[in-house]
Structure 1
């Protein structure tokens, strides 16, 4: 991800304001609790107006967790080969990458603590993961529609349905890792920790086919 220092001045200012609002919101939530953390208090602590707050976040919960709209970069999508044997693995890694773009801030331990204390923050977090999944599904559907082997559809289903199913399957290794006993929310999931789960999925698909 591009560092704030490398951005043009206007974008750098926006990144700095976003970070200030997130830092203020998370700190106040730990200090006062989510219910007693208001948009006005967050904005005041960050040195901006409440109106400015809503230019960056829909609700205070997004600011507390550090959530933003997920982004699917064209370069990452164009790197997907729908004819490759490891298509599921490619989509799984893409899904993970897009999901991470929805999460800002660097204090993962604090985020974990807040979500553990306030389940509604976890639900809001999941809303953004669903957004990331939809974004990837739309992108993959576009790729499938351009490929002759996929565009004709299968079993009465078109590329859009195939893409939705593919993304659901690709999400299984990620969810498998998230539910593992040794999963560390602070460290998160990397390609290295995802690979064994992908290997297991491929093995099961071969056994079941």
Structure 2
């Protein structure tokens, strides 16, 4: 199997995913979320439902463009480097923003997705489902960030993991609120502004508890 063949296959996968996302969004706008069934989305591409579920767990995930982003050592190291000198909250929130990926990215479907989320706020719940699916990856990645933070670097590994498991839900809640605000404002914020707002919210939640 050649590198060229692998490249063609990956391009085909990306093309199919993009077509499914576009069809899901278009149908949800045209016929309503309830009527935009997986079968209807597949017929519009066209692909089989089996192919659809190779890419997405649900039609809601296709509408949002939700996908699990691998959080390998290289990606965690990149987050550490990019946010070196910033707070642990900032690094963990950057991690969560990377995990959310296209669901909050500025894509060509951005405005249509914002319209649908405003009509159906429950769509944002798919972010929580995504974070649950990625739970072990997120804990491992957050533990690495905790271990690299000067405040926690000398702690036992088990304690660092416990801190990661405590801080993740806090940061996840901050991201969720920031995303809700972002949608209410029309979704015109840059993702970096969204991250900064989430950090601000997390800090506001922590400071009175000290």
For normalisation by structure 2, the TM-score amounts to 0.72
Give the distance between the partners of 1:33 and 1:103, measured in 2 at CA.
21
Q: Which runs of 5+ in 2 are unaligned?
A: 1-5
Q: 1:31 to 1:204 in 2, by over 3 A?
A: closer
- The answer to whether 1:139 aligns with 2:141 is yes
SS in 1 for 2:54: coil
Residues 1:205 and 1:65: Cα distance change in structure 2 (over 3 Å)? closer
CA distance in 2, matches of 1:185, 1:28: 21
* Whole-Å separation in 2 of the counterparts to 1:186 and 1:8: 33
**Considering only aligned residues, what root-mean-square deviation do their CA atoms show, in Å?**
3.6
Contact 1:95 1:132 in 2 (8 A): no
What is aligned with 1:40?
A: 39
Name the counterpart of 1:165. 166
Structure 1 85/36 Cα, relative in aligned 2: closer, same or farther at 3 Å?
A: closer
Structure (1/2) with the larger helix percentage: 2
Tell me, in whole angstroms, the C-alpha distance in 2 between the residues paired with 1:93 and 1:101. Answer: 14
Which segments of structure 1 move beyond 6 Å, counting only runs of 4 or more? Answer: none
Q: What TM-score, normalized to structure 1?
A: 0.72
The answer to which of 49-58 and 98-107 deviates more is 98-107
Give the direction of change, closer, same or farther, for the CA distance of 1:55–1:186 in structure 2 (3 Å limit). same
How far has the Cα of 1:96 moved from its partner? 1.6
Indicate conservation of the 8 Å contact 1:141/1:160, yes or no. yes
The corresponding residue for 1:107 is: 109
Q: Which has the higher contact order (CA 8 A, sep 6+)?
A: 2
Aligned to 1:27: 26
